[in-house]
Amino acid sequence: MVAAGLLAAALCLSAAALGAKEPKASKEMLAWAEGPVGWLLLPSEWRELRRVEESAGAVNFIEGFWRLRDPDPGSSGNAFRAQFSARVEAADQLYAEGPLRGSLTARGRALILLGPPPQMRLVSEEVLTPRPGRGKQRSAMRLIRVEIWHYPEADLPRKLVGVLRAADREPSVELKFRLGRRSVELAEGANSLILAARLALVQD
């Protein structure tokens, strides 16, 4: 019951993050939050960091942020943070889109939150696109490339599998990316990525 509620709550996290009008964060905090770590930030953390004004407060916030995601607080390092950094580096190398670093793209987000896809295939899909014409707009069908990432149960975090099962959902994740000429769009699977970010918390 708790897991099913968590799933429902996760589906509206993006809207909640955008809905409230609050003071802007300091430049230091905003620069940090607008980097790859932004994929992990929850709405409550966004609200908190907007109140951080001095450098000491920024350091404390960032340390606390990673501490909440440390699977073994008693050890000298933080395995989650190390994995995050490695995935960010890989995403930057693989998925850059022009001047946009790879870790800030749709596929970079997926790689950071779920890891490399165990199964990936490339297909073509017909989409209806508007074309401006004289007097009125016309539409036409065109083929686009679609990249599909599939994560079976064995390759997903255990917490995510548990939540999917509790919500009577298939314990696997499939992400669909539409490959445009200049950028890549996540067409399906955003809710799974929101859940993955939420479930990264060790302490809730």
**Residue 204 lies inside a defined structural domain of this protein:** no
Domains of the chain: total: 1
Triad 67, 202, 6: Cα angle to 5°: 135
| Domain boundaries, position 150 | 2-199
Mean pLDDT for the chain overall: 86
**Residue 190 lies inside a defined structural domain of this protein:** yes
pLDDT tens digits, one per residue of 86-116: 999 999 999 999 999 999 999 999 999 999 9
Q: How far apart are CA 187 and CA 40, in angstroms?
A: 20
Q: How confident is the model at residue 28 (pLDDT cuts 50, 70, 90)?
A: confident
Backbone angles phi, psi at 148, to 5 degrees: -115, 125
Q: How confident is the model at residue 9 (pLDDT cuts 50, 70, 90)?
A: very low
The tokens for 114 are: 């779920």
Q: Please, are residues 156 and 173 in contact by the beta-carbon 8 Å criterion? A: yes
Lowest mean pLDDT among 131-135, 139-143, 167-171: 131-135
**Residue 25 lies inside a defined structural domain of this protein:** yes
**Residue 45 lies inside a defined structural domain of this protein:** yes
**Residue 142 lies inside a defined structural domain of this protein:** yes
Q: What is the percent of the chain where pLDDT is above 90? A: 63
